[in-house]
Chain A
Amino acid sequence: MNRINKLFSEKKKNILSIYFTAGYPNINDTVEIIKTLDECGVDMIEVGMPFSDPIADGPTIQESSNRAIENGMNIKVLFKQLLNIRKITQIPIILMGYINPLYQYGYTNFIEKLIECGIDGVILPDLPLDDYLVSFKELFDKNNLSYISLVSPNTSAERISKIDKISNGFIYVVSSSSITGKKSIFSDNQVEYFNRINELKLINPTIIGFGISDKKSFQVACNYSNGAIIGTKFIQSISKSKLRESVKNYISSIR
């Protein structure tokens, strides 16, 4: 059982997960943001590994990614920053990113570093399931790492079951057919989709993401799942000069 599994076994409702882009607003903010989020009572953290061409993301995360890359962030630097993170916090940490930077870093090197730093899992939106099975699964299972997959409103029930069997940790339920950072109050169609997923009685818990921006949308999302992920709105609320204060203010507006 890793920290993600432990979290879900102890807490079934209102899990708040926060996404931010590593290296934004400043290159060395990563550890400080994690520490502050932990202190504020956030349940889980997704650390984005920036990529130049993030096709599943809207303008905010494109911009934070570009700034992070300009600041000098890359996978090597990120692992250096995270090397001692487990001396500071036991909050579940997930790395999220597109496949090309990992491909250059080397999959095996990447997995070794995850273990060394005490990272609990990954979300890799553009990695095909078959590639995961061939290149990752054995080492992930052996080292108790979580592989978290996305499902969208157009994912068939059959495919959701397949994804559920392969995944470990939780299922990332993309709230609508969209990229990140779209505003939304859930429509009837979305509610129907959330109910449809609940009726499938999945092995893994579910977390809703994309379009969650404030207390209200967080609470509504939590009615249909074990919790929700906020990314875009959090990134927009971070202040470069008053980092800790801005993080605390935003989290207290949700909780």
Chain B
Amino acid sequence: MKYDVNKTGYYGKFGGSYIPEMLYSNIEELNKNYLSIINTKSFNKNFNYLLKHYVGRPTPLYFAKRLSKKYGSKIYLKREDLCHTGAHKINNTVGQILLAKELKKSKIVAETGAGQHGVATATVCSLMGMDCIIYMGEVDISRQRPNVERMKILGAEVRSVTSGSKTLKDATNEAMRHWINNPNDTHYIIGSVVGPHPYPDMVARFQSVISEELLLQLKEVEGREYPDYILACVGGGSNAAGIYYHYLDNLKVNLVGIEAAGLGIESKKSAATTQLGKEGVLHGSKTLLMQDENGQVTEPYSISAGLDYPGIGPLHAHLYDSKRGQYLSVEDNDAMKAGIELSRLEGIIPAIETAHAFAVFDRLNIKDKVVVVNLSGRGDKDLETYIKWGKY
């Protein structure tokens, strides 16, 4: 595939493995083994069994009738919000915990922003009887309270991160430091398509179950297996990578990623990486990165904790750079309004991350087109933010 990762771990000029020597053997172990493990029959049997009976896959492809009518197009929703734990994140954590078992690791560490990945990780650790430590920024802990408690109920230890902006970037730093200190018995479950190679590829493969199902589901309802547009929100970009995956080389499909503009691109309170970032290295990969002129990483801002990240996965940097993908950004207020609109028209309260993807219909030429939006997560965890915003 043209847009797939190459043998050295790069997507075009992005990706690679920029890690200190203390992590080299861990990354090398993963790199040598991940493909051979995830391509075995027994791995796939276990993975597919859990996706079906534990996660609840396949997730429905739902035709959003009233939303479609409003925008004059055919809008389908890929219902990842109906996955166990409430978001697409669990597709990846199920895959990675099975991989960790194969690698004979007994402990799991992970970072989390919105808490969705943390909950999905705590869940599979409980399922597999493995110790689980989750790093989460202090700011995110206070704005995603329900998820913090869910992780604790599931038996995970949640460690508050107080360095830097106290959000996802810093939680990722701490999770990496933890892995450096515990390289032998611990596997690090990264939650997005970021990090050193092979993580971006591995996470994209586990999430690609989304587009794999979509091929069949669209064929059934539309008579063809591809839509005209696919929309997905992008923080690090795992739900987008998952729903793009089988369509990357099909140029008839317009891939649209929606980033968080926060209070506005010019406001300095934003997380719109493709707009504000330039090439750089963070968390082990070369990608687009929000930074100052001296190469210090800028603290991002978004109302949604899951999009509050100064970089994007190297696959997305490549799709943006090569113009294969179109990346738009949406401000806090517009995302909130879109979340309310979806609630009122279709009876679905989306996660605020996801709501960003519902705020761009007016900006795309989608009249009479088939559009699929990845409904990546549900809004239960965001009730406090909805309530605080108040305009409903």
**Chain B residues numbered 131-189 whose CB sits less than 8 Å from any CB in chain A:** 163-164, 169-170, 173, 176-177, 180-184
Which of B8, B182, B296 is most buried by chain A, counting CB atoms within 10 A of its CB?
Answer: B296
Shortest CB distance B309–A (Å): 12
Q: Is the CB of A104 within 8 A of B18?
A: no
Cα distance A178–B181 in the bound complex, in angstroms: 4
Interface presence of A87 (CB below 8 A)? no
Q: How far is the CB of A54 from chain B (nearest CB, A)?
A: 8
Q: Are A150 and B21 in contact (CB under 8 A)?
A: yes
State how many angstroms separate the Cβ of A135 from the closest Cβ of chain B: 12
A69 touches B296 (CB 8 A): yes
Closest CB-CB distance, B37 to chain A, in whole Å? 20
**Which residues of chain B are within 8 angstroms of A102 by Cβ–Cβ distance?**
295
Q: Is the pair B295, A56 in contact by a Cβ cutoff of 8 Å?
A: no
In the complex, the answer to whether B21 meets A104 with C-beta atoms within 8 Å is no
- State in angstroms the CA–CA spacing of A253 and B282 once bound together: 38
Decide yes or no whether B17 CB sits under 8 A from chain A.
yes
Q: CA–CA, A178 to B183, complex, Å? A: 9
Q: Are A127 and B18 CB-contacts (below 8 A) given A102-B295, A104-B295, A179-B177? A: yes
Which of the listed residues B17, B180, B289 has the most CB atoms from chain A within 10 Å of its own CB?
Answer: B180
Q: Which residue of A lies closest to B176 (CB)?
A: A55
B280 touches A100 (CB 8 A): yes
Contact B281 A150 (CB under 8 A): no
Question: Which A56-84 residues have a C-beta within 8 angstroms of B?
Answer: 56, 58-59, 62, 66, 69, 74-76
Q: Mark B291-305, 1 if CB is under 8 A from A, else 0.
A: 101111100000000
Compute how far the CA of A102 lies from the CA of B286 in the bound complex, rounded to whole angstroms: 13
Residues of A with C-beta under 8 A to B184: 154, 177
Task: Report the bound CA distance from A101 to B296 in whole Å.
Answer: 7
State whether B21 touches A62 (Cβ < 8 A): no
Residue from A55, A62, A128, A131 with most neighbouring chain B CB atoms (10 Å): A55
Contact of B291 among A62, A104, A152, A182 (CB under 8 A): A104
| Given A55-B20, A104-B291, CB of A154 within 8 Å of CB of B173 | no
Q: Bound state CA distance, A127 and B18, in angstroms?
A: 6
Among the listed B21, B180, B279, which residue makes an inter-chain contact with A155, where contact means beta carbons less than 8 Å apart?
Answer: B21
Q: Does A177 lie within 8 Å of B18, measured CB to CB?
A: no
User: In whole angstroms, how far apart are the Cα atoms of A151 and B23 in the complex?
Assistant: 10
Is A99 an interface position by the 8 A CB rule? Answer: yes
Is A90 located at the chain interface by the 8 A CB criterion? no
Contact B21 A177 (CB under 8 A): no
Pair B281/A99 contact, Cβ less than 8 Å: yes
Residue pair B295, A150 in contact (C-beta under 8 Å):
no
Q: Report if B54 contacts A (CB, 8 A).
A: no
Closest CB in chain A relative to B373 CB, distance in Å: 33
* Inter-chain contact A159/B24, CB cutoff 8 Å: yes
Other than the given A56-B22, A131-B16, A131-B18, 4 more pairs (CB < 8 A) read A103-B279, A150-B20, A154-B184, A179-B181
**Chain B residues at the A interface, C-beta cutoff of 8 Å:** 8, 16-22, 24-26, 163-164, 169-170, 173, 176-177, 180-184, 279-284, 289, 291, 293-297
